[in-house]
Structures are given as C-alpha cells and as structure tokens.
Amino acid sequence: RIEDLRGKRIGTLRDFRTVDVLDEALNQGTFAERVYGNDFDQLFEMLAQKRVDVVIVNDQVARAVLRKRNDNAIIEQPVALSSNAAFLTFSRHRNFDNMVAKIDYALFEIVADGTYARYFAQHIKALSP
C-alpha cells in the first residue's frame, strides 16, 4: 500500500513516469524524499548504501539487477501497485488499420506459444554477470 511508504525516501528513474496512484503520491509529497537515478544500477547502489529506502521498479527488471549484483543486503518486497501499458503508434497519414490487427495477433501468438517468455529469459540472463 502507498501508505506503507509514507515518510520513506523513494528512488525512481529520472524522467520516468510511474503508475497514476504512485505519481500522485510522489507529487503530493507523501514521501520523505524522491531521489532520482540515471539507471536502475545506480538506484540499486543507492539502496545498498541506504541513500534511499525503496526503489520503484518493474519486478522483472529488479530480479535481473539483483541477480547481477548478487547482493544479499537488498531484499525484494513484492508489492504490485499496477502496471502501465506499452503502446505502438502509427502515422495517421498512412492506412495501417490492418497492421494493428496483425501485430495484435502476432503478439498473442508469441505469448501463447512461449516465445515471449524464452526471449525475455534470454535477454534478462544476458544482463547477469
């Protein structure tokens, strides 16, 4: 819950938008301090040095960074607030109506057949030492 983070120093990426409820709390000064990092490695280093109390990060990215760091001083607290959708955008000046349906179906297929999970695991593993 957001209330559990009241008074904490929160680490986020610079120019990174989080979920609405968290953005609202950040903008209202709910937390003791918002500390910006340039990348997740920097944020996790700040966490290890106790310069922040919490890092706001996608769970899959967090696990990859933690594997790479091999740091037992940092623990994962699985708190899911919600997630932001990612979007593909197309020019209005060309007719891409059929392209959207094709991409939607292709994405559905790679998730359904496990391709997405394999690629994700492969690239996350590449981030590990």
Is 90 inside any structural domain?
no
65 and 101 share a domain? Answer: no
Residues 59 and 104 in one domain: no
> Is 25 buried (19+), middle (13-18) or exposed (0-12) by CB count in 10 A?
buried
Residue 7 lies in a domain: yes
**Residue 16 · residue 41 · CB < 8 Å:** no
**Per-residue pLDDT at 4:** 77
Query: Who's near 44: CB < 8 A, 6+ residues apart?
Result: 55, 65, 66, 69, 71, 74
Residue 8 resides in a domain: yes
Task: Provide the residue range defining the domain that includes 106.
Answer: 97-127
The verdict on 65 and 8 lying in the same domain is: yes
User: Do 6 and 64 share a domain, yes or no?
Assistant: yes
Range 3-24 average pLDDT? 79
| pTM recorded for the entire structure | 0.60
Range name among 6-10, 11-15, 77-81, 112-116 with the lowest pLDDT average: 77-81
Q: Is residue 13 a part of any domain in this protein?
A: yes
Is residue 118 domain-resident?
yes
Boundary residue ending a domain (53, 69, 85): 69
